[in-house]
Amino acid sequence: MEKVKVIIDNRQKAVKIPTGLRMLVRRCCTAVLRMEKFEGPAEVSVVFVDNEQIHKLNLQYRNKDMPTDVLSFPMGENGVYDINHSTGAKILGDIVISMEKAVEQAERYGHSLEREVGYLTAHSMLHLLGYDHEQGGIERVHMREKEELVMTELGLPSTSSYVLEEDEE
């Protein structure tokens, strides 16, 4: 597989970024591209933010007045991407992760922060490649299967269900 450049920017102070998390994010991006048999060099940007920052982005771009865990901003459509003319890499887009939400969800689902951030990265990478789970159905199931394949490959398999009991919601 060709080179993948993952640009990571920490724009929040709410959560200390654990040692190795940036490397995990890079490995996760590479694993998704390898699984999808992505051709050519690629570039992706990952930004760590807090709940306030992601709330503003979610309102501005999705008209949802609340913080969310991750946002994806694809730069391509139907497999056609902008090219970084100095490197020749396909620019896949931007991933924005709320580190506060990642901590909350890791605690809620009973797994590590590393697994949660890895999962959010895999999820978002699939969005950058054109996958969409918003309509539910088989596309949602297919996307979840791919996310779990990547997490297992990285040594972070699921230890619990993402489905909460009614009294946990």
| 169 residues of the chain, pLDDT tens digit each | 679 999 999 999 999 999 999 999 999 999 999 999 999 999 999 999 999 999 999 999 999 999 999 999 999 888 889 999 999 999 999 999 999 999 999 999 999 999 999 999 999 999 999 988 777 778 888 899 999 999 999 999 876 555 544 444 4
pLDDT of res. 167: 46
pLDDT of res. 169: 44
pTM: 0.90
**Quick check: 94 and 72 in contact, CB under 8 A?**
yes
pLDDT of res. 159: 65
Question: How far is residue 23's CA from residue 130's CA, in Å, rounded to a whole number?
Answer: 24
Residue 43's closest CA among 14, 9, 81, 15? 81
Domain 4-158: top CATH class = alpha beta
Amino acid at 25: V
